[in-house]
Amino acid sequence: RHVADFQLSIASIIENSSGDCLAQDLHLQAQQLAERLKCDSVVSAISAGPGTVNFTINRELLAKTVLQQVWKDGSEYGVKSELFSTVPRQKAVVEFSSPNIAKKFHIGHLRSTIVGNFIANLKEALGHEVVRINYLGDWGMQFGLLGVGFQSFGNKEKLKSSPLQHLFEVYVQINKAEEDENTKKLAKDFFRKLEEHDKQALSIWQQFRDLSIEEYVRIYKRLGVHFDEYSGESFYQEKAQEVLNMLEDKGLLQKTVKGTGIVDLSEKKDLSTFSTVMRSDGTSLYITRQVNLAAAIDRMNKHSWDTMIYVTDKSQSNHFQHLFQILKLMGYDWAERCQHVSFGLVQGMKTRRGEVIFLEDVLNEVRSRMLQNMTSTKTTKETQDPVETAEKVGLAALIIQDFRGLLSSDYQFSWERALQSRGDTGVFLQYTHARLHSLEQMHGNAELTDVNVSCLQEPDAISVLQHLLRYDEVLYRSSQDLQPKHIVSYLLTLSHLAAVAHKTLPVKGSAPDVAQARLCLFHAARSVLANGMKLLGITPVTQM
């Protein structure tokens, strides 16, 4: 089956093709055009399809050009394409992950973490300057409760050795006691002390925050994720008051009968849509929206970014729409360059111990399940560090399962499906990468200098080359809509094509120049596979 390298749709170049052109007319025009076009040193064949003109590139030129390009550009292959030549280099702030200290790190936070990391990786690869921000839930009444709870149930050793787990336990215990009026009063007092910058209260809070971040950093590292800045709600408490004053000065702040502060967002100014920015008791206690407004304004002053992207689940879409609208009303035109990338909900992710409470639970679970799979398969060679390999392969499985569909769609999580070694999974990508890597190990590294490209004329070789040629288009699509699925399906197809070629085009036992040319082809496939995996946040393994 011959597939053309490029296709021209006749309908796209006819002036009056408003859909009233008959199919047979288009076909006739395609034939007439194909007959008038001449082949040259680049195009080796031209034919007409149903309403299309098909071009086949000189096979040797295709092989030579693709292999040279992949070889020369290395990890920048696809990124250096002229598709991106007109795209201005920008500064992007990406806010993602953003868990609440002492509360569960739920699956929504995990999605935000891997999606935000992908967006930041992609922007960085395309030459943009990226600031990765983790905006922690590190303030609010929960810290009043925590402060009191720690005095009753806290343990300094446990706080040092496993802060996230210990603070969560304390929080659960004190919440049980919260019904008690006295506890409520103590918690309010402690939080008031924090708001008044009481030294002792602040130092306890600071310890909770610092130790939590230290542990987050360690766990994110296992995920292959890092942040340039750990920000948080605590940074913007004073500034939130300034925002209210600004809203008041601009005449945007209205009070309801009950005394709640609102901003009218309706077109006709009839309060058909409005956003609450202040509670009726006048406290900055504590409307997230105010604080987010303050944070957005502060970031603009600090980073003067070109685009700011918030990555959270779709239940917060309304919140961000309001946020951007208020900023615009305040006269900040840059609000139009803010973007909310939202994602759907994941159902049914449980570990063997039950519900997911900590990110570490997920990482340990995926590692142990993968290890079990690896030890039970006959084909598994002894790897040098099976635990490390299991973790990387398991993470690939999680990420690919998550990225296969549109981000906005909900999906049912399944360990079985995610960890299958056959089919369209992260395990299959890792397996393909490891196989291609060991092929290179076995036969020595490919050298491009003396490759005889006339040895790469088999259909299975051509399929891989054609696919490699398309990589930049896929990167471009993902850069336009920030959806990882384009890259995922590209890499899965690449792996399937490489697997077929690996079977039908043996290196071992072939004539030297054939072996060398095939080795080069497999090297190029592995190189592009590795590039794409890294963008998605996956660390390619070299043995499995």
Candidates 436, 457, 458; CA nearest to 445 is 436
Candidates 305, 317, 319; CA nearest to 277 is 319
* Catalytic-residue membership of 340: no
Token reading at 393: 């392969």
Strand order in the sheet with 307-313: 229-232, 129-136, 91-95, 307-313, 338-343
User: H or E stretch including 386?
Assistant: helix 386-403
Q: What is the DSSP string of 257-282?
A: TT--EEEE--TTSSSSSEEEEE-TT-
Q: Say which DSSP state 411 is in.
A: E
Report CA torsion sign: 430, 432, 435, 439: negative
The Cα 311–Cα 138 span in angstroms is 18
Strand order in the sheet with 6-9: 6-9, 52-57, 43-49
SS3 content of the chain, % helix, strand, coil (to 5): 60, 15, 30
Are the C-beta atoms of 205 and 147 separated by less than 8 Å?
yes
Burial class (CB in 10 A: 0-12, 13-18, 19+), 351: middle
Candidates 315, 402, 474; CA nearest to 114 is 402
Q: Say which DSSP state 126 is in.
A: T
From the list 64, 103, 158, 485, the catalytic residue is 103
Q: Say which DSSP state 100 is in.
A: B
> Three-class SS of residue 245?
helix
The Cα 492–Cα 424 span in angstroms is 6
* Catalytic-residue membership of 109: yes
Report CA-CA distances (Å) from 240 to 107, 219, 316, 339, 477: 29, 31, 20, 21, 38
* Catalytic-residue membership of 303: no
Candidates 236, 269, 268, 263; CA nearest to 251 is 263
The Cα 357–Cα 166 span in angstroms is 12
Residues involved in catalysis: 103, 106, 109
